[in-house]
Amino acid sequence: MTTRSKRILVLSDIHGNLPALQSVLQDAGEVDAVWCLGDLVGYGPFPNECIDLIRQQKDLRCVMGNHDAGMLGRISLGMFNHDAQVSLKWMKTVITESNWDYLRKIPETDQVDKVTLVHGSPRNPIWEYILDPGIARDNFSSFATPLAMVGHTHLPIAYIYFEDLDETEWTLGRHGKPLKLEHRAILNPGSVGQPRDHDPRAAYAIFYPRRMSWEFHRVEYDIERVQAAIIQNGLPARHASRLTEGW
């Protein structure tokens, strides 16, 4: 008899997109834990439904994103572009007290075993975008664990650090191509609810902590359903149209 290897679902930037979150949870199948890297709200029309569903997940860890912090009033709305502000103001009017309370208690960073969890970057958990290997390299001194997992850019990507050279290489997330984690790394599963790599499918990752490997995944979801709900709730049309192209 073989024992099943421990599987952890890593997801980020759900942004109130319930159909995408449902597809990801179904596609991922049975997992031992769920790690969520922030931005449950913002842009999408189903903030409460997404938070409710996330809160039901087994062994959940969740860190705070900039949109979560914006809705809670911890960051000035002036820091967001106009359309994002419209969405955040709307969320404030619909969010349930229980979900507001839940978001309030989410930490900015978390650490599980060998992994640091954060939304933006280890040195600036809420705001910094890790968009290139140079920014990634400068972040390796800001966390002590072998791995960090981040979201925020909505791009599935792995930054691998070569300590002896003080250099970082990046590799774009390709569906179904497992990555063996033999060096320190900063890993981004991509965005569930608003992918920006011109692939409209929802993105997530599966992490195998025992064999130290990571898999990028993509899954289709009902884009039209979320687009209709964006329009119906009077949210910015751009947030609906961009989902078709995945940007």
**Which residues of the shown chain bind Zn ion in the complex (CB under 5 A)?**
13, 39
Smaller CB separation from Zn ion, 39 or 110: 39
Residues 6+ apart with CB under 8 A from 86: 235, 236
Q: What share of the chain is helix, strand, coil (3-state, %, to 5)?
A: 30, 25, 45
Could you tell me the smallest distance in angstroms from the CB atom of residue 20 to Zn ion?
13
Q: What number of other Cβ atoms are within 10 A of residue 226's Cβ?
A: 24
Single out the residue of 186, 160, 154, 172 nearest to residue 216, CA to CA. 172
Could you tell me the smallest distance in angstroms from the CB atom of residue 1 to Zn ion?
42
Could you tell me the smallest distance in angstroms from the CB atom of residue 177 to Zn ion?
24
The tokens describing 189, both together, are 């599963």
Could you tell me the smallest distance in angstroms from the CB atom of residue 175 to Zn ion?
21
Single out the residue of 212, 214, 207, 177 nearest to residue 33, CA to CA. 207
**DSSP three-state, residue 37:** coil
Smaller CB separation from Zn ion, 13 or 110: 13
Could you tell me the smallest distance in angstroms from the CB atom of residue 38 to Zn ion?
7
Smaller CB separation from Zn ion, 61 or 152: 152
Smaller CB separation from Zn ion, 11 or 181: 11
Smaller CB separation from Zn ion, 18 or 160: 18
